[in-house]
A = this chain, B = another copy of it.
Amino acid sequence: MQAERLAVTPVPVRSDRPQAERPEEVKLIGVARSFARDQEIYGQGEDAELVYKVVSGVVREVRMLADGRRQIVDFRFPGDVFGVEPGAARQASAEAVGEATVIVARRSGVVAEQPQALWRLALSDLARSQNHALTLGRRTASERVVAFLLDLEERHDAGEAMIELPVSRQDMADYLGLTIETVSRTLTQLQHEGLIQLQGCRQVRLARRQTLCELCE
């Protein structure tokens, strides 16, 4: 786990993202740290004095029940800031999905310097979360999977036809409130229906965009 000083954020702004979604970038100046696959960045209940920005890799925010049931509350991609909490204690834990590196900064400093940007961030996270609640509460398995794929594509770098699934089936399942088997079955079913094409288990091409979008209303 190396640590080095970094000038501001060297992360390219994704150009395809609508401006409303990224109103102003939160700028983090701090130390870079790398985490191994599945390594915990912070844990539920810990002190929430640090905030983070993804440089590379993917991070998942996780809430767990005592018996091990797991809900992934959101994924964080390069450029995303995470770890800002309402109270002193972390409500969720954060883990590196694969190898990931993040910039770490003190919460207090960022709050003092960029209150506006942090507020916007909280509001857009809230909107995302409420959307997620709609998915979890009212959509069927295939609607959930399609919603996830479309969200991925929207947050994805380029407009390439082939998008990379950055997370395992288990992570998809824990994000979508399903089991790994249901996710897998749903993907192959979508493929049979000609709505997507899978290439290995980590590459998807979305076909018939229109139909896919309609599936999520």
Contact = CB atoms under 8 A, between A and B. Distances in A.
Interface of A: 20, 23, 61, 63, 65-67, 69-71, 73-74, 84-88, 91-92, 115-116, 118-120, 122-127, 129-134, 136-139, 174, 176-177, 217
Given A91-B127, A115-B115, A138 B70 contact: yes
Contacts of A124: 86
B20 A134 contact: no
Contact of A85 (B88, B91, B92, B127): B127
Nearest to A19: B87
A138 B69 contact: yes
Given A125-B126, A138-B70, A131 B63 contact: yes
A43 to B, nearest CB: 16
